[in-house]
Amino acid sequence: MSAVLDQIFQVGFLAAIIRIATPLAFATLGEMFSERAGVLNLGIEGIMLLSAMTGFTAAYFTGSLWLGVLAAAATGALMGALHGLFTVVLGLSQHVCGIGITLFCSGLAYFFYRLIFGQQSVPPSIDGFKPVAIPLLSHIPILGPAVFSQFSLVYLAIVAIPLSAFVLYRTPWGLSVRMVGENPRAADSAGVSVIGTRMTAVILGGALMGLAGAFLTMAQFNAFTFGVVSGRGWVAIALVVFGRWDPWRSAGAALLFAFVDALQLRMQASGLGHIPYEAFLMLPFVLTIVAMALMSRNAVAPSALLKPFRREER
């Protein structure tokens, strides 16, 4: 146990928490925007996987990482629009459509990856993002190397958190999102386009999910594998509830999960007794379930979540 504690109080451990939390922060913010508008997006896992594949493929063939990021975000936005078409415009079941999007995107990712790259013994890889040290800030003891010597996408995620809070609470569009998520009838009476606002929120959410996928294949692993997402999309849905549909709290929930995930990696490396490594792997997910069970009792979801809006129905 002392070996684990020694590793926890290291700069590398703090830096690992930030890196692990980055894709979760992107995905959680994306799901948060969608749910605040009244649309549950269970397609997040598949959207992240397909975006990770398209972003990796674009970066692999163009040699430009930022084109890969753009391709991933565009893929996420497109799949978000598809989910919005089914759930917002047509008013179909959000649960069923979300699962369908996940299955569709997963199958599409596997198909196109095999079609483009074939079945190689050594998976293709790219020269991914490199850590970028911010002058002056990176020299702050402990905090500098851990937070301000990270990948560019990490900084983008850090900026996205206060920006999301500002957009949601300080802009007319953010007010519209909250209105259509709580009382779409009142929003419609006030002249707010419920369909348009929900579609915009779902598309924005999909783009953020795409950025989460891009980080995994272009910064964290520098390659695409079929298990690259590994349930992070489902975790993001839980983190939104844990964060009570608030950008700051959701980001804090992502950091908490990342802390436990980084901790279990250190525990595996320390070789604690004869505990199977599978026990460490499931630790973050078990704690997520426990946190969900405790927090969901007092969590108040947007009132119109899962409820389709049909103007002709009263």
Gyration radius of the chain's alpha carbons: 20
CB 8 within 8 A of CB 146: no
**Spatial distance between the Cα atoms of 297 and 291, rounded to a whole number of angstroms:** 10
Q: What is the pLDDT of residue 282?
A: 77
Give the DSSP letter string of the chain: -HHHHHHHTSHHHHHHHHHHHHHHHHHHHHHHHHHHTT---TTHHHHHHHHHHHHHHHHHHH--HHHHHHHHHHHHHHHHHHHHIIIIIS---HHHHHHHHHHHHHHHHHHHHHHHH---SS--B------EEPTTGGGSTTHHHHHSEE-HHHHHHHHHHHHHHHHHHHSHHHHHHHHHHH-HHHHHHTT--HHHHHHHHHHHHHHHHHHHHHHIIIIISSB--TTSSTTHHHHHHHHHHHTTT-HHHHHHHHHHHHHHHHHHHHHHHHT-TT--HHHHHHHHHHHHHHHHHHHTTT----TTTT----TT--
Degrees to nearest 5, angle at CA 229 with 40 and 263: 105
**Spatial distance between the Cα atoms of 37 and 98, rounded to a whole number of angstroms:** 15
pLDDT of residue 288 exceeding 60, the answer is yes
Give the pair of three-digit tokens for residue 104: 């569709």
* pLDDT, the chain, mean: 89
pLDDT digits (tens, 9 = 90+) for 83-107: 999 999 999 999 999 999 999 999 9
pLDDT of residue 130 exceeding 80, the answer is yes
pLDDT digits (tens, 9 = 90+) for 201-235: 999 999 999 999 999 999 999 999 988 998 899 99
User: Who contacts 69 (Cβ-Cβ below 8 Å, separation ≥6)?
Assistant: 55, 59, 153, 211, 214, 218
Q: Is the Cα torsion angle 245, 250, 256, 262 positive or negative in sign?
A: positive
Q: What is the pLDDT of residue 3?
A: 52
pLDDT digits (tens, 9 = 90+) for 67-85: 999 999 999 999 999 999 9
- Mean pLDDT, residues 300-310 taken together: 88
pLDDT of residue 31 exceeding 90, the answer is yes
Q: Is 175 exposed, middle or buried (0-12, 13-18, 19+ CB in 10 A)?
A: middle
**Spatial distance between the Cα atoms of 13 and 211, rounded to a whole number of angstroms:** 23
Which residue did the predictor score with more confidence, 4 or 83?
Answer: 83
Res. 263 pLDDT band, cuts 50 70 90: confident
Which range, of 4-18, 145-159, 179-193, averages the lowest pLDDT? 4-18
pLDDT of residue 267 exceeding 80, the answer is no
CB 71 within 8 A of CB 181: no
**Spatial distance between the Cα atoms of 267 and 4, rounded to a whole number of angstroms:** 6
> Domains of the chain by range and CATH?
2-119+133-295 (1.10.3470.10)
Pairs from 83-86 (Cβ < 8 Å, separation ≥ 24): 83/39, 83/41, 83/43, 83/202, 83/206, 84/39, 84/198, 84/199, 84/202, 84/203
Give the pair of three-digit tokens for residue 76: 């996420």
Which range, of 142-151, 226-235, 271-280, averages the lowest pLDDT? 271-280
Q: Determine the distance from the C-alpha atom of residue 250 to the mean position of all C-alpha atoms in its chain, rounded to a whole number.
A: 11
pLDDT of residue 65 exceeding 90, the answer is yes
Report the predicted TM-score, pTM, of the whole model to 2 decimal places.
0.92
pLDDT of residue 286 exceeding 90, the answer is no
